[in-house]
Chain A
């Protein structure tokens, strides 16, 4: 099983739709979870951090289920500008420091 797995895409949705992405992780010791957004040929940019059960920021809601080892990202009222690839990242705890493991990403295409 891969360390971090995401829904394969792409997701094609109309403007105004609600869309949800899932991400599962294999390391039960992971403590921090992140959703990054990556536009085509650009660098990943942090969208949301998830440390406890969940986090909400405007139209975006991230939820964490530690028992089932998955994180979800919900986008409400999709905009054309939400079209991008969404990367799930999970921290790997080492001795005194933390690094990130990324999933392959899920592409979202929002159409008029």
Chain B
């Protein structure tokens, strides 16, 4: 079956611009996660959705970052006034639920470059 998909695969923008990154989870998965991975680091948790609601946004670095999942499926991560330090790969993952034993399946990521 189809896995997690993310668009765009690459995004180059200028400092100060606004960007939107999209994630389409595996069909039927209620839990959706966003991570950020910088070079040489592991994925860093940003936000978790259960259904339509953001159940845990403790990983968002500041208020320039925001994410939505209005219909409980597709999610969009929005970054305002981008900074060079925002350059990273943004990974989305989904799982059936958010139980401790549920496997998270990752999408291919969006590579964001802020010039």
B-binding residues in A (CB < 8 A): 4, 31-32, 34, 42-46, 49, 51, 87, 89, 91, 93-94, 96-105
Contacts and interface: CB of A to CB of B under 8 A. Distances in A.
B55 A97 contact: yes
Give the 10 A-B residue pairs with the shortest CB-CB distance, closest first. Answer: A102-B42, A97-B98, A43-B106, A32-B100, A98-B100, A31-B100, A102-B43, A91-B100, A104-B42, A44-B106
B105 interface: yes
Interface of B: 31, 33, 35, 40-45, 48, 50, 55-56, 91, 98-109
Contacts of A32: 100-101
B56 A97 contact: yes
- Report which residue of B40, B98, B104, B109 has the largest number of chain A beta carbons within 10 angstroms of its beta carbon: B104
Given A91-B100, A104-B42, 8 more contacts: A32-B101, A43-B91, A43-B107, A43-B109, A45-B106, A49-B103, A103-B42, A104-B41
